[in-house]
Structure 1
Amino acid sequence: MRGGVRLGIDVGDVRIGVARSDPSGLLAVPVETVARGEGDLDRIAALVAESEAVEVVVGLPVSLSGGEGPAAQKAREFARALAERLGGTISVRLFDERLSTVSAQQGFHAQGLRTKSTRARIDQAAAAIILQSALDTERSTGSPPGSAATGDSARRERKRQRRGRASSE
Structure 2
Amino acid sequence: MPEREHTGSDDTGPVGGRRRELPAVPPARQRPAPPAEQPGHHPTTEIDLSRGIPAPPRHETTEIDLSGGWPQHLRVPPPPAPPRRGGRVMGVDVGSVRVGVALSDPTGTLASPLETLRRSRDGADLDRLAQLVAEHEVTEVVVGEPRHLSGASGASARDADAYSQALAGRIADVPVHLIDERLSTVTAAQHLRAGGIDSRRQRPVIDQAAAVVILQHYLDARQARP
SS at the partner of 1:102? helix
The residue that corresponds to 2:210 in the other structure is 126
Match of 1:32 among 107, 112, 115: 115
Q: Is the 8 A contact 1:17 1:120 kept in 2?
A: no
Q: Could you say what secondary structure the match of 1:90 adopts?
A: coil
Contact preservation (8 Å) 2:146, 2:157: yes
CA drift of 1:109 comes to 2.5
Structure 1 range deviating more: 116-125 or 49-58: 116-125
Answer 1 or 2: which has greater helix percent. 1
Give the drift of 1:112: 4.0
TM-score, reference length from structure 1: 0.79
What is the CA RMSD across the aligned residues, in angstroms?
A: 1.3
Q: Work out whether 1:106 is the aligned partner of 2:190.
A: yes
Match of 1:89 in 2: 173
Confirm or deny that 1:79 pairs with 2:153: no
CA distance in 2, matches of 1:63, 1:109: 24
Gaps of 5+ in 2: 1-83
1:46-69 Cα shifts (integer Å, max 9, x gaps): 110110000100001111111101
Structure with higher RCO (Cα < 8 A, 6+ apart): 1
Q: Cα offset for 1:116?
A: 3.6
- Aligned pair count? 141
- Choose the corresponding residue for 1:9, options 66, 72, 92: 92
CA distance in 1, matches of 2:113, 2:196: 19
Distance in structure 2 (CA, Å) of the matches to 1:117 and 1:25:
29
Structure 1 unaligned regions, length at least 5: 143-169
Deviating above 6 A after TM superposition, structure 1's stretches of 4 or more consecutive aligned residues are none
* Aligned residue identity for 1:13: S
Query: TM-score by structure 2 length?
Result: 0.60
Matched, 1:55 2:140: yes
Give me the whole-angstrom Cα distance separating, in 2, the residues matched to 1:107 and 1:23. Answer: 24
Instruction: Call closer, same or farther: CA 1:13–1:109 in 2, change over 3 Å.
Output: same
**CA apart distance, 1:78:** 0.2
- Assess if the C-alpha contact under 8 Å between 2:85 and 2:139 holds in 1: no
3-state SS in 1 of match to 2:187:
helix
- Counterpart in 1 of 2:64? none
Which amino acid in 2 is paired with 1:2?
Answer: R
What is the SS of the residue equivalent to 2:202?
Answer: helix
Over the matched positions of the two proteins, sequence identity in percent amounts to 52
- Which is strand-richer, 1 or 2? 1
1:74-107 CA distances to partner (integer Å, 9 max, x unpaired)?
A: 0000000000122x21100001111111111122
